[in-house]
Amino acid sequence: MYIGERIEKDGSLPLKAGTFQPVTQANLEAAAQAATPQSVSETVAALEVGKVFEQITADVLEGDEEEVVVNARKLLAQGVKAGDILNKGMLPAMDVIGTRFSDGTVFIPEVLLSARAMNEGLKVLDPYLTGDNEKRGGTVLMGTVLGDLHDIGKNMVVSMLKGTGYDVVDLGANVSTDDFVQKCLEHRPDVLGLSALLTTTMPQIIEVLAALEKAGLRQDIKVIVGGAPVNQKYADDIGADGYAQDAGEAVTLTRRLVEA
């Protein structure tokens, strides 16, 4: 019903009691007192910080290392906590990149560019994250199992995890079971990532799991697996804590396991 029809029908404007307040000198003075110079400047500052958060997110998405560094320093100079810059500016960009990579709308070069830009920003934030007692995502140990020299997929996961705020220890390729156990004892990671790109090296994953159990480490470390011949059923069958099909899924899975 149009407003004219409502007036004709009801004989008055369609307003509830108390919804209209006349503009009086007292109302104007009260509004002016509420909008103090301090409150106005704080509002403007908050809006400016929000814009820089949006910009740093865009910079990471575009892989613009220089601008990420510039905007991270700008926010720190304005008194913004390093943890807020990380969580509100940088990490959202990596979440988007991870989703786009999983969807097939971006590819390895774009992911690597964003990860590098993120890493440059983290170099700026790291000293302040420690000073603010801000927690990083956790520690992840990564490696390709013994007998397997393929590491492109593993390297992608490492880059994405570093880019999203995790401390990553990359053991490389062709890593022995003993080395995995020793490095787990040394670094006490939250998550261990095992990669196998050959069906012939898949049994090495089982050996690592057994060795962790024997060393009394298994209950304290979440183990995720990946690689071309690996799938969710295999991960379930061998008792791994999760399977990731690609780097984006690996980040999501790691976050879920660390926060559990």
Multiple choice CATH, 136-260, 3.40.50.280, 3.50.50.60, 3.90.1150.10, 2.30.110.10: 3.40.50.280
CATH 3.40.50.280 residue ranges for the chain: 136-260
- Between CA 220 and CA 207 the distance in angstroms is 17
Return the pLDDT at 153.
Answer: 86
36-135: in CATH 1.10.1240.10: yes
Torsion on CA atoms 73, 74, 79, 82, rounded to nearest 10: -40
55-94 pLDDT tens trace:
999 999 999 999 999 999 999 999 999 888 988 899 889 8
* pTM as predicted: 0.66
Q: Smallest Cα–Cα separation from 238: which of 216, 257, 217, 223? A: 223
What are the tokens at 51?
């814009």
24-49 pLDDT tens trace:
666 555 655 655 555 434 444 555 77
